[in-house]
Copies of this chain bind each other. A is one copy, B any other.
């Protein structure tokens, strides 16, 4: 029998493995040095108390006959979907609970969503890119176009009217660049998608970091309901990387090729998935309660403080960057024309600070470097002190 030979076309990406190997080699050779990791992509603060209580209450429910829960609804329980719809309303976006589906995280849905579209769909991603959008489509044998995000466009790639795409992946605030689309920029993408009969898969996993008037949802944009699917995650919003939950919004108005897209996706879910655990759906609802939102903001503000410390350092050093304001990521141009890996080595050897070489995220990441705000205050302050010392 034959395997799926599209897998042969996957480009192995050793970015994080290489970062870890080089870091560990340095530590082994210099056991006296204090290395600070500023490339952490995972959250580090614990779940807030109200969320932990909801998880435990949900677990207790499963232990009693009267409150036991069997198979969940594929789309998630109504109370959890209603809590999410209310959250959307809090920043002025109207989506119906019937358009929301609770998931085990935005990664799975971003990787699986293309399944319901034709195999010959042309995929467009911005470069640099979260590798899942690319690799999941390579696995399906699809053609992938790249829209360059560069210093020139502020790392906000815009549509090219001369190019046709069917499936467009956008991520704002962006991973890895931290750049955030404005309303006008997103409107241009929505207009392009509607004109091209395309669908935008909009990854809003970092929306909760937004502090200015950048759109928190693509559904803040006129026309998005007829061309967009929104994915969101509690991983970064509420520290759910190890808890696993997210949500997907598919407007009932989204129709392509004579098919309602919500219905198609629901058909896929009911065949290939079995919903999210009861205690975790209880935790999702707790996150979006008034008390939950207050508690998660304490965590987010901690990370925001770190981002400010990092961004402030680069302001001081005159190094150009995106992110840091609406995002836990700070994406810099490597100083003195250094390459991504060259700067990685330079920083590790001279300041014992570890970050992530931007070229691991795509061609347009060459010469770029990513810092994250998920370290502790103390480490962030110390790492930035060393950076200033080294680079000023």
Contacts and interface: CB of A to CB of B under 8 A. Distances in A.
Interface in A110-129: 111-112, 115-121
Given A111-B271, A132-B271, A244-B276, A44 B68 contact: yes
B136 A271 contact: yes
Assign chain A's interface to a size class. Answer: 35 or more
A268 interface: yes
Contact of A62 (B112, B116, B242, B276): B242
Contacts of A259: 3, 7
A9 to B, nearest CB: 12
Nearest to A52: B63
Contacts of A71: 42, 241-242
B64 A44 contact: no
Contacts of A136: 271-272
A267 interface: yes
Interface stretch (A100-108, A178-186, A321-329): A100-108
A210 interface: no
A97 interface: no
Contacts of A243: 62, 277-279
A44 B105 CA distance: 28
B244 A1 contact: no
Contact of A115 (B1, B51, B55, B139): B139
Interface in A292-309: none
Contacts of A59: 52, 55-56, 59, 279
A277 B277 contact: yes
A197 B2 CA distance: 9
Contacts of A46: 62-65, 68
B3 A264 contact: yes
A5 B117 CA distance: 8
Interface of A: 1-5, 7, 10, 42-49, 51-52, 55-56, 59-60, 62-65, 68-72, 104-105, 107-108, 111-112, 115-121, 131-132, 135-136, 139, 166-167, 197-199, 239, 241-244, 256-257, 259, 261, 264, 267-268, 271-280
Given A56-B56, A71-B241, A111-B272, 6 more contacts: A42-B70, A52-B62, A56-B59, A56-B60, A71-B242, A131-B271
25 contacts: A2-B120, A2-B166, A2-B257, A4-B116, A4-B117, A4-B119, A44-B70, A45-B68, A46-B63, A48-B63, A51-B62, A52-B59, A52-B63, A55-B56, A55-B59, A56-B59, A59-B279, A68-B239, A68-B242, A104-B274, A107-B272, A107-B273, A112-B272, A136-B271, A241-B274
